Structure 1
């Protein structure tokens, strides 16, 4: 009969991984702070909306690249995810432009 042990072996912490996580958290915090400043200082309009979309994409990139480990994958996999996102962002800008044009015609 085997005896169960309750000893826990502690692995030394990896300082480089902890520093990388803190760096990404700092970048995300700075981008979020910039978003808050823009939200309360810049008047509503296309510029503010465009900046929010761009900053949201930057935050999504860091989250996907570091926490979902996509940044360490092959280039072909990165492009297969990045290209559709570029098309979606392009579609959003086109819809914003056309929506503004339609509102001008209706008024």
Structure 2
């Protein structure tokens, strides 16, 4: 018998999924090509982010605090260096009153 010099997880992984049979993971390819930071079709544009902030008269710092983000993150979104997550843009628009909540108008009680 041959002595095994690796931990149990590595041995199980080698037995169940030999390296030659593993396809390249899509996330690995995306990370390697820089596609993770590439803008998605539904991401807000840097111009839309800046205009939304200026429409309510907030500084970049105040806007970042509104969605619990860092100032540097906000600056990168406005510069186009990073894509702003659509959910954060939606949160910003809702919290600043630029988008109404579905079916709720000002002065109406929330049920």
TM-score, normalised to structure 1's length? 0.25
Rg comparison, structure with higher value: 2
Q: Name the structure with the higher helix share.
A: 1
TM-score, normalised to structure 2's length? 0.25
